Structure 1
Amino acid sequence: MSGRQLEVCAASFASALAAEAGGAHRIELCQNLAQGGITPSYGLIREVRRQLSIPVFVLIRPRPGHFVYSPAERAIMRADIEQCRALGCAGVVLGVLDAAGRVDVAACQELVAAAGPLPVTFHRAFDECPDQAAALEDVIGLGCQRVLTSGGQPTAPAGLPRLAALVRQAAGRVSVMPGAGISPATIRAVLEGSGAREFHSSARGPVVPAARGLFGVAEAETDAAVVAELVRRLAE
């Protein structure tokens, strides 16, 4: 069925290429997934933009950890957004909370303004909001195009009841995009149980032992075959 889309979270150049090769509709480009992802380097953004024909959304997150940002950190985020615009990226992915875990509307308005015409995805900072129904209205009021969420649970399959409620509440005003735990084995259940139309997955294959670095740590790359299987199951 048309209209369903797969966004792949790519944390390297190789993963970005694999996402496109597998048929992903869009990528979210980041680095350091082991700590939840941060803004990728200028060089990575530029080279991915040069090589890919599918839309590239860039994660705007200056550091790992919580989503309450200082004025200096927000200035860095604005500068990164401006850089993404200059490089011709298709959109940005961001989120700022206040100390109570609510959407920091004023801070997010600054960043959305910096994005200008670029579509904005509100990322999984949303899952730390204690009142997701109120948070969704804030995200809609900001003019975001979509919100990435696992329904407040560790994985989207575990958060299905909340995801379905959010999709109903959104009523087409924003796309509720399930993410976390989306695999070929789970994507149909999440699709059918949530009513969502867009889905987010890292689509990673196994870690290749030879790829381990100096400290014996390696992140699995996106696997084009896994991406293709996810796309196939979405189209069933």
Structure 2
Amino acid sequence: MKKGRLEIACFNLESAILAQENGADRIEFCANINEGGTTPDFELTKTVRDKVTVDLNVMIRPRGGNFVYSDVEFEQMKSEIIAFKKLKVDGFVFGILKEDGSLNEGQNKLLVGLAKPFPCTFHRAFDSIKNKFDALESLIECGFKTILTSGEKTNVVEGIEVLATVVEKANNRITIMPGGGLRSTNIGLVKEKTKAIFFHSSAIVDQGETANDSEIRALKANLEQS
């Protein structure tokens, strides 16, 4: 089986540095942990980029809540991508739906095009879409390189069957990255059952907002052993 890779969701500079020091392959940088992640502060992201050399993906999400955005919010997302590209980040993370809960292909495709040559991840808005497999094909068509998903459930263990099916249907055309409640205690099981190769965790083990260095190391170690 391919060697697994680990992305750590970071909400502050300290977490980003810990992620790099303890073996993370990529950082997803965002703000507002209680909202599930929103666009981070530009200056703080600039500092993170200066401090870390591992791949750095940036969340583009104007607010918490649903994934249906106003014209003003969509323009904000476009301008944020243009601005963050100048920082030499390595990719972007976003997802836009329509009022009926289906994928907004037009807006997503436009943002993917705007982000080029940087790759884009479609985030857990995927778990809100009713027809996952139609959406999977559409996201490949839109040009996304990765989908972050918990398999429709609140965490990856509950969604493990759906995750396995999505990985199988993706058939290496797009990376399916399990995330949501992923910890060192279950990453081996999730890798074994889903056959995924990239995994996402905040590595936070308390009620705070900072990743735990021991948990990052344990995630990485268990990923490499499984």
TM-score if structure 1 supplies the norm length? Answer: 0.93
Q: Give the SS at the match of 1:15.
A: helix
Corresponding residue for residue 122 of structure 1: 122
- Contact in 1 for aligned 2:123/2:148 (Cα 8 Å): yes
Residues matched between the structures, number: 225
CA displacement 1:14-59 (0-9 Å, x = unmatched): 1111111111000100010111110000111100000001010000
Unaligned runs of 5+ in 1: 208-218
- Separation (CA, whole Å) in 2 of partners of 1:21 and 1:205: 18
Corresponding residue for residue 133 of structure 1: 133
Q: In the alignment, does 2:217 pair up with 1:231?
A: no
Structure 1 pair 192–2 and aligned structure 2 pair: CA distance change class (3 A): closer
Segments ≥4 residues shifted beyond 6 Å: none
Corresponding residue for residue 94 of structure 2: 94
Paired letter, 2:211: T
- Separation (CA, whole Å) in 2 of partners of 1:196 and 1:158: 16
Corresponding residue for residue 9 of structure 2: 9
Corresponding residue for residue 156 of structure 2: 156
- The structural deviation recorded for 1:2 is 4.9
- Separation (CA, whole Å) in 1 of partners of 2:63 and 2:34: 12
- Contact in 1 for aligned 2:119/2:145 (Cα 8 Å): yes
- Separation (CA, whole Å) in 1 of partners of 2:98 and 2:209: 33
Q: In the alignment, does 2:80 pair up with 1:80?
A: yes
**Percent identity at matched positions?**
36
- Separation (CA, whole Å) in 2 of partners of 1:206 and 1:134: 37
Q: Give the SS at the match of 2:137.
A: helix
- The structural deviation recorded for 1:206 is 2.5
- Separation (CA, whole Å) in 2 of partners of 1:161 and 1:171: 16
Corresponding residue for residue 220 of structure 1: 209
TM-score if structure 2 supplies the norm length? Answer: 0.97
Paired letter, 1:179: G
Paired letter, 2:34: A
CA displacement 1:57-79 (0-9 Å, x = unmatched): 00000011100011111110011
- The structural deviation recorded for 1:161 is 0.6
